[in-house]
């Protein structure tokens, strides 16, 4: 299932026209947004969460890519969920437009996923790779995870940006690479705590912890709330 997003050519900066915050109704699936820069490990994290949750919950995934369905294809290839539980939106242009400024294509795709299943507990909505400013509309997701990785150096959390600062959970990914790029994980954790005002941050390596156990625990908490 693939939906195409159409928007007029635009230039920066964007004017945020966020919809009213979604109010999740009883029986509706929790929607968790997973955003972050290209290559930070978003799709690998989504895959890990699906593998851990698929036997106990009804899960679906919606990916966003600019011109392809590469992330959805990756998830299907690795059989993290049945094919009919994985959908894709081709955003065109700036990927954050489809998750923040005009979320219609994503909402339609979510409706299709819900209609195709008897019941869903959780929908993971993965953004296309973008920069540190990309965030999800509160009308699209209930909570959001923002993923960065250590390859950009330990300055990344300190630079802030809406994704780093205001996401419900910040994931500093690929910590096993820190010695190779000279990143100080203690500095990253400290700076993240400062800019995030106490919002939770997880440092993880999917190489060392394929189950993404800390993020998984956070997701379970959100599902129970």
For 94-144, write each residue's pLDDT tens digit. 777 889 989 999 999 999 999 999 999 999 999 987 777 789 999 999 999
For 57-108, write each residue's pLDDT tens digit. 999 999 998 878 889 999 999 999 999 999 999 887 677 788 998 999 999 9
43 is annotated as contributing to ligand binding: yes
Helix runs in 84-212, H state only? 95-96, 104-116, 156-159, 162-166, 178-181, 185-196
37 is annotated as contributing to ligand binding: yes
Asked if residue 208 belongs to a domain, the reply is yes
Exposure on the CB side of residue 32, measured as CA atoms within 13 A: 27
Task: State phi, psi for 95 to the nearest 5 degrees.
Answer: -65, -30
CATH code (residue 65): 3.40.50.300
Closest CA to 207 of 172, 175, 171, 165: 175
| pLDDT for the residue numbered 67 | 74
Asked if residue 51 belongs to a domain, the reply is yes
Asked if residue 191 belongs to a domain, the reply is yes
99 DSSP assignment? I
- For the segment 175-182, the average pLDDT, to the nearest whole number, is 96
When comparing pLDDT for 132 and 44, which is higher? 44
Asked if residue 9 belongs to a domain, the reply is no
**pLDDT surpasses 60 at 2:** no
- Mean pLDDT score of the chain, rounded to an integer? 90
- For the segment 161-176, the average pLDDT, to the nearest whole number, is 96
When comparing pLDDT for 157 and 5, which is higher? 157
Q: How far apart are CA 192 and CA 186, in angstroms?
A: 10
Q: How far apart are CA 137 and CA 21, in angstroms?
A: 8
| pLDDT for the residue numbered 6 | 44
36 is annotated as contributing to ligand binding: yes
46 is annotated as contributing to ligand binding: no
Asked if residue 6 belongs to a domain, the reply is no
Closest CA to 1 of 87, 83, 115, 117: 87
Asked if residue 13 belongs to a domain, the reply is no
- For the segment 161-186, the average pLDDT, to the nearest whole number, is 96
Q: How far apart are CA 136 and CA 96, in angstroms?
A: 8
Asked if residue 44 belongs to a domain, the reply is yes
Asked if residue 183 belongs to a domain, the reply is yes
Name every residue whose Cβ is closer than 8 Å to that of residue 85 and which is 6 or more positions away in sequence.
59, 60, 61, 113, 117
82 is annotated as contributing to ligand binding: no
| pLDDT for the residue numbered 5 | 52
Q: How far apart are CA 139 and CA 177, in angstroms?
A: 36
**pLDDT surpasses 60 at 213:** yes
- For the segment 180-204, the average pLDDT, to the nearest whole number, is 96
Name every residue whose Cβ is closer than 8 Å to that of residue 11 and which is 6 or more positions away in sequence.
none
| pLDDT for the residue numbered 17 | 46
Q: Interior CA angle at 35 toward 88 and 138, to 5°? A: 90
Q: Is the pTM for the entire model greater than 0.75?
A: yes
Domain that holds residue 183: 26-219
38 is annotated as contributing to ligand binding: yes
167 is annotated as contributing to ligand binding: no
Work out how many domains the chain is built from and give that number.
Answer: 1
200 is annotated as contributing to ligand binding: no
For 7-42, write each residue's pLDDT tens digit. 443 433 333 445 678 888 889 999 999 999 989 999
């Amino acid at each position: 299932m693939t939906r195409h997003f159409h928007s007029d050519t635009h230039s920066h900066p964007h004017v945020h026209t966020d919809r009213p915050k979604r109010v999740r109704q009883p029986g509706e699936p929790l929607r968790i947004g997973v955003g972050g820069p290209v290559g930070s490990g978003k799709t690998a994290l989504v895959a890990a969460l699906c593998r851990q949750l698929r036997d106990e919950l009804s899960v679906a995934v919606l990916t966003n890519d600019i011109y392809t369905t590469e992330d959805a294809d990756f998830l299907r290839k690795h059989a993290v969920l049945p094919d009919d539980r994985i959908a894709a939106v081709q955003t065109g242009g700036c990927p954050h437009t489809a998750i923040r400024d005009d979320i219609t294509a994503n909402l339609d795709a979510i409706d299709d996923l819900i209609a195709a299943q008897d019941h869903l507990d959780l929908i993971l909505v993965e953004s296309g790779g973008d920069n540190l400013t990309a965030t999800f509309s509160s009308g699209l997701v209930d909570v959001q995870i923002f993923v960065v990785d250590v390859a950009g150096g330990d300055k990344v959390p300190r630079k802030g940006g809406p994704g780093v600062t205001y996401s419900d959970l910040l994931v500093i990914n690929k910590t096993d690479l820190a010695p190779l790029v000279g990143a100080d994980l203690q500095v990253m954790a400290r700076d993240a705590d400062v800019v995030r005002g106490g919002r939770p941050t997880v440092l993880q390596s999917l190489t060392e912890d394929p189950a993404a156990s800390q993020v998984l625990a956070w997701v379970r908490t959100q599902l129970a709330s």
